[in-house]
Protein backbone atom coordinates (compact mmCIF):
# COMPACT_ATOMS: atom_id res chain seq x y z
CA UNK A 1 0.00 0.00 0.00
CA UNK A 2 1.29 3.45 -0.90
CA UNK A 3 1.79 6.18 1.69
CA UNK A 4 -1.38 7.88 0.49
CA UNK A 5 -3.23 4.58 0.72
CA UNK A 6 -2.07 4.23 4.31
CA UNK A 7 -3.19 7.77 5.11
CA UNK A 8 -6.72 7.27 3.84
CA UNK A 9 -6.99 3.87 5.48
CA UNK A 10 -6.12 5.57 8.78
CA UNK A 11 -8.51 8.49 8.38
CA UNK A 12 -11.32 6.17 7.35
CA UNK A 13 -10.66 4.04 10.43
CA UNK A 14 -10.86 7.23 12.49
CA UNK A 15 -14.16 8.11 10.83
CA UNK A 16 -12.98 11.40 9.35
CA UNK A 17 -11.69 13.08 6.22
CA UNK A 18 -8.05 13.99 5.59
CA UNK A 19 -6.89 17.61 5.52
CA UNK A 20 -4.57 18.42 2.62
CA UNK A 21 -2.77 21.77 2.33
CA UNK A 22 -1.34 23.39 -0.80
CA UNK A 23 1.47 25.94 -1.01
CA UNK A 24 3.82 26.85 -3.88
CA UNK A 25 7.48 26.07 -3.30
CA UNK A 26 9.50 29.28 -3.06
CA UNK A 27 6.69 31.26 -1.44
CA UNK A 28 7.28 33.43 0.47
CA UNK A 29 10.83 32.09 0.10
CA UNK A 30 12.18 28.58 -0.39
CA UNK A 31 12.95 28.23 3.32
CA UNK A 32 9.73 30.03 4.25
CA UNK A 33 7.63 27.54 2.30
CA UNK A 34 9.28 24.66 4.15
CA UNK A 35 8.67 26.39 7.48
CA UNK A 36 5.03 27.07 6.63
CA UNK A 37 4.31 23.54 5.45
CA UNK A 38 5.98 21.94 8.45
CA UNK A 39 4.01 24.26 10.74
CA UNK A 40 0.78 23.23 9.00
CA UNK A 41 1.65 19.57 9.53
CA UNK A 42 2.38 20.18 13.21
CA UNK A 43 -1.02 21.92 13.51
CA UNK A 44 -2.96 18.99 12.03
CA UNK A 45 -2.56 18.86 8.25
CA UNK A 46 -2.45 15.24 7.04
CA UNK A 47 -0.78 15.69 3.64
CA UNK A 48 0.63 18.52 1.56
CA UNK A 49 0.69 19.57 -2.07
CA UNK A 50 3.82 21.47 -3.05
CA UNK A 51 3.12 23.71 -6.03
CA UNK A 52 5.60 24.01 -8.88
CA UNK A 53 5.50 27.66 -10.00
CA UNK A 54 4.69 28.09 -13.68
CA UNK A 55 4.58 31.27 -15.73
CA UNK A 56 1.32 30.40 -17.55
CA UNK A 57 -1.09 29.05 -14.91
CA UNK A 58 -4.39 27.98 -16.42
CA UNK A 59 -6.50 27.30 -13.34
CA UNK A 60 -4.84 29.45 -10.66
CA UNK A 61 -6.89 32.31 -9.25
CA UNK A 62 -5.44 35.73 -8.35
CA UNK A 63 -4.29 34.78 -4.85
CA UNK A 64 -2.22 31.80 -5.95
CA UNK A 65 -1.02 33.71 -9.02
CA UNK A 66 0.49 36.31 -6.68
CA UNK A 67 2.23 33.58 -4.72
CA UNK A 68 3.53 31.96 -7.90
CA UNK A 69 4.82 35.30 -9.17
CA UNK A 70 6.68 35.77 -5.89
CA UNK A 71 8.18 32.30 -6.13
CA UNK A 72 9.31 32.89 -9.70
CA UNK A 73 10.79 36.26 -8.75
CA UNK A 74 12.68 34.45 -5.99
CA UNK A 75 14.20 32.21 -8.65
CA UNK A 76 12.59 28.99 -7.43
CA UNK A 77 13.72 25.92 -9.36
CA UNK A 78 12.36 22.44 -9.90
CA UNK A 79 15.02 20.99 -7.56
CA UNK A 80 13.74 23.48 -4.95
CA UNK A 81 10.24 22.04 -5.40
CA UNK A 82 11.53 18.51 -4.95
CA UNK A 83 13.59 19.43 -1.88
CA UNK A 84 10.58 21.20 -0.35
CA UNK A 85 8.50 18.06 -0.80
CA UNK A 86 11.34 16.06 0.71
CA UNK A 87 11.48 18.30 3.78
CA UNK A 88 7.81 17.59 4.44
CA UNK A 89 8.12 13.89 3.65
CA UNK A 90 10.89 13.69 6.23
CA UNK A 91 8.26 14.38 8.90
CA UNK A 92 6.42 11.21 7.84
CA UNK A 93 3.70 13.21 6.09
CA UNK A 94 2.66 12.35 2.52
CA UNK A 95 3.98 15.04 0.17
CA UNK A 96 2.80 15.48 -3.39
CA UNK A 97 3.83 17.93 -6.08
CA UNK A 98 1.12 19.78 -7.96
CA UNK A 99 2.32 20.95 -11.35
CA UNK A 100 1.26 21.67 -14.87
CA UNK A 101 2.68 19.07 -17.20
CA UNK A 102 5.02 21.21 -19.27
CA UNK A 103 7.60 21.89 -16.51
CA UNK A 104 7.74 18.20 -15.63
CA UNK A 105 8.18 17.21 -19.27
CA UNK A 106 10.88 19.84 -19.74
CA UNK A 107 12.74 18.63 -16.65
CA UNK A 108 12.51 15.03 -17.82
CA UNK A 109 9.73 12.65 -16.81
CA UNK A 110 11.94 9.88 -15.46
CA UNK A 111 14.30 12.34 -13.81
CA UNK A 112 11.49 14.20 -12.08
CA UNK A 113 9.75 11.04 -10.92
CA UNK A 114 12.90 9.36 -9.64
CA UNK A 115 14.16 12.47 -7.82
CA UNK A 116 10.80 13.08 -6.15
CA UNK A 117 10.53 9.46 -5.11
CA UNK A 118 14.12 9.63 -3.89
CA UNK A 119 13.25 12.27 -1.29
CA UNK A 120 10.17 10.38 -0.14
CA UNK A 121 7.52 12.08 -2.29
CA UNK A 122 4.19 10.27 -2.58
CA UNK A 123 2.65 11.45 -5.83
CA UNK A 124 2.07 14.16 -8.41
CA UNK A 125 -1.10 16.07 -9.31
CA UNK A 126 -1.21 17.18 -12.96
CA UNK A 127 -4.31 19.35 -13.47
CA UNK A 128 -3.84 19.93 -17.19
CA UNK A 129 -2.79 16.44 -18.25
CA UNK A 130 -5.46 14.24 -19.84
CA UNK A 131 -5.41 10.45 -19.52
CA UNK A 132 -5.21 10.11 -23.29
CA UNK A 133 -1.85 11.90 -23.32
CA UNK A 134 -0.53 10.59 -20.02
CA UNK A 135 1.11 7.34 -21.16
CA UNK A 136 4.75 8.42 -20.80
CA UNK A 137 4.09 10.08 -17.45
CA UNK A 138 2.16 7.10 -16.10
CA UNK A 139 5.11 4.90 -17.03
CA UNK A 140 7.62 7.17 -15.30
CA UNK A 141 5.46 7.62 -12.21
CA UNK A 142 4.74 3.90 -12.00
CA UNK A 143 8.42 3.00 -12.24
CA UNK A 144 9.19 5.40 -9.39
CA UNK A 145 6.29 4.25 -7.23
CA UNK A 146 4.50 7.62 -7.32
CA UNK A 147 0.73 7.98 -7.30
CA UNK A 148 -0.52 9.90 -10.38
CA UNK A 149 -3.46 12.09 -9.33
CA UNK A 150 -5.90 13.40 -11.93
CA UNK A 151 -8.80 15.82 -11.70
CA UNK A 152 -12.52 15.50 -12.35
CA UNK A 153 -15.06 18.32 -12.49
CA UNK A 154 -18.83 18.74 -12.20
CA UNK A 155 -18.98 18.76 -16.00
CA UNK A 156 -17.30 15.33 -16.30
CA UNK A 157 -19.52 12.68 -17.86
CA UNK A 158 -19.77 9.19 -16.39
CA UNK A 159 -17.59 7.91 -19.22
CA UNK A 160 -15.03 10.59 -18.44
CA UNK A 161 -15.07 9.74 -14.77
CA UNK A 162 -14.28 6.11 -15.62
CA UNK A 163 -11.45 7.09 -17.96
CA UNK A 164 -9.87 9.40 -15.39
CA UNK A 165 -10.23 7.12 -12.38
CA UNK A 166 -8.84 4.16 -14.30
CA UNK A 167 -5.42 5.86 -14.47
CA UNK A 168 -5.51 7.68 -11.13
CA UNK A 169 -3.60 6.62 -8.04
CA UNK A 170 -3.73 7.79 -4.43
CA UNK A 171 -6.95 9.76 -4.63
CA UNK A 172 -9.23 11.47 -7.11
CA UNK A 173 -9.07 15.27 -7.05
CA UNK A 174 -12.64 16.55 -7.38
CA UNK A 175 -12.82 20.22 -8.36
CA UNK A 176 -15.77 21.60 -6.41
CA UNK A 177 -16.71 24.11 -9.09
CA UNK A 178 -15.90 25.14 -12.62
CA UNK A 179 -13.33 27.92 -12.75
CA UNK A 180 -10.05 28.93 -11.17
CA UNK A 181 -8.75 28.42 -7.64
CA UNK A 182 -9.64 30.78 -4.82
CA UNK A 183 -11.39 30.96 -1.48
CA UNK A 184 -15.18 31.26 -1.75
CA UNK A 185 -17.99 32.10 0.64
CA UNK A 186 -19.48 28.69 -0.09
CA UNK A 187 -18.23 25.55 -1.81
CA UNK A 188 -20.08 24.63 -5.01
CA UNK A 189 -23.29 22.75 -4.36
CA UNK A 190 -22.37 20.30 -7.08
CA UNK A 191 -19.34 19.07 -5.11
CA UNK A 192 -21.31 16.52 -3.09
CA UNK A 193 -23.09 15.24 -6.19
CA UNK A 194 -19.74 14.93 -7.97
CA UNK A 195 -18.25 12.90 -5.13
CA UNK A 196 -21.25 10.55 -5.22
CA UNK A 197 -20.84 10.11 -8.97
CA UNK A 198 -17.12 9.37 -8.65
CA UNK A 199 -17.75 6.76 -5.97
CA UNK A 200 -19.99 4.86 -8.36
CA UNK A 201 -17.05 4.20 -10.67
CA UNK A 202 -14.08 3.77 -8.28
CA UNK A 203 -13.10 2.77 -4.75
CA UNK A 204 -10.37 5.42 -4.66
CA UNK A 205 -10.66 8.15 -2.01
CA UNK A 206 -12.18 11.36 -3.35
CA UNK A 207 -10.81 14.71 -2.19
CA UNK A 208 -12.49 18.05 -2.82
CA UNK A 209 -10.58 21.23 -3.63
CA UNK A 210 -11.15 24.76 -4.95
CA UNK A 211 -12.85 27.12 -2.54
CA UNK A 212 -12.50 25.73 0.98
CA UNK A 213 -11.19 28.41 3.35
CA UNK A 214 -12.91 28.08 6.75
CA UNK A 215 -13.39 25.44 9.43
CA UNK A 216 -17.12 25.47 8.71
CA UNK A 217 -16.58 24.78 5.02
CA UNK A 218 -14.06 22.06 5.86
CA UNK A 219 -16.57 20.40 8.17
CA UNK A 220 -19.24 20.59 5.49
CA UNK A 221 -17.03 19.00 2.83
CA UNK A 222 -15.78 16.39 5.32
CA UNK A 223 -19.36 15.10 5.60
CA UNK A 224 -19.19 13.61 2.12
CA UNK A 225 -15.56 13.59 0.91
CA UNK A 226 -12.51 11.57 1.92
CA UNK A 227 -10.28 14.63 1.89
CA UNK A 228 -10.50 18.42 2.04
CA UNK A 229 -7.94 20.43 0.05
CA UNK A 230 -7.09 24.01 1.05
CA UNK A 231 -4.70 26.30 -0.80
CA UNK A 232 -5.68 29.92 -1.37
CA UNK A 233 -6.64 30.47 2.26
CA UNK A 234 -3.10 29.56 3.39
CA UNK A 235 -1.55 31.73 0.70
CA UNK A 236 -3.76 34.62 1.75
CA UNK A 237 -2.54 34.40 5.34
CA UNK A 238 1.08 34.65 4.17
CA UNK A 239 0.31 37.54 1.84
CA UNK A 240 -1.62 39.59 4.38
CA UNK A 241 -0.37 38.74 7.88
CA UNK A 242 2.86 40.09 9.36
CA UNK A 243 3.23 37.03 11.61
CA UNK A 244 2.26 34.67 8.82
CA UNK A 245 3.82 31.57 10.36
CA UNK A 246 1.57 31.84 13.40
CA UNK A 247 -1.36 32.69 11.17
CA UNK A 248 -1.02 29.63 8.91
CA UNK A 249 -0.60 27.43 12.00
CA UNK A 250 -3.80 28.80 13.47
CA UNK A 251 -5.67 28.30 10.20
CA UNK A 252 -4.39 24.73 9.90
CA UNK A 253 -5.52 23.99 13.46
CA UNK A 254 -8.97 25.46 12.78
CA UNK A 255 -9.36 23.50 9.56
CA UNK A 256 -8.14 20.30 11.22
CA UNK A 257 -10.74 20.76 13.93
CA UNK A 258 -13.40 21.33 11.28
CA UNK A 259 -12.44 18.20 9.38
CA UNK A 260 -12.41 16.11 12.52
CA UNK A 261 -15.76 17.47 13.60
CA UNK A 262 -17.38 17.14 10.21
CA UNK A 263 -17.33 13.37 9.79
Active site residues: 49, 60
Beta 151-152 vs 147-149: how paired, if at all? unpaired
Biggest CA–CA distance in the chain, Å, is 48
How many CA atoms are closer than 13 Å to the CA of 162, on its beta-carbon side?
Answer: 5
Interhelix angle 135-144/109-118, nearest 10 degrees:
30
Return the exposure string of 20-54: e unless at least 16 CB atoms fall within 10 Å of the residue's CB, then b. bbbbbbbbbebebbbbbbbbbbebbbbbbbbbbbb
Separation CA 144–CA 118 (nearest Å) = 9
Separation CA 176–CA 193 (nearest Å) = 10
Start-to-end C-alpha separation, the chain:
24
Amino acid sequence: MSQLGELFARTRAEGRAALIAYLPAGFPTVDGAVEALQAMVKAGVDAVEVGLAYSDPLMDGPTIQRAVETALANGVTTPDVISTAGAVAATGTPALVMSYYNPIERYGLERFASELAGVGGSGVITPDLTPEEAGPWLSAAGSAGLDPVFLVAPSSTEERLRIVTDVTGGFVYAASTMGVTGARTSVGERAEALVERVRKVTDLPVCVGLGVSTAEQAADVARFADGVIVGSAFVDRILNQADWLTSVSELAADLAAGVRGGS
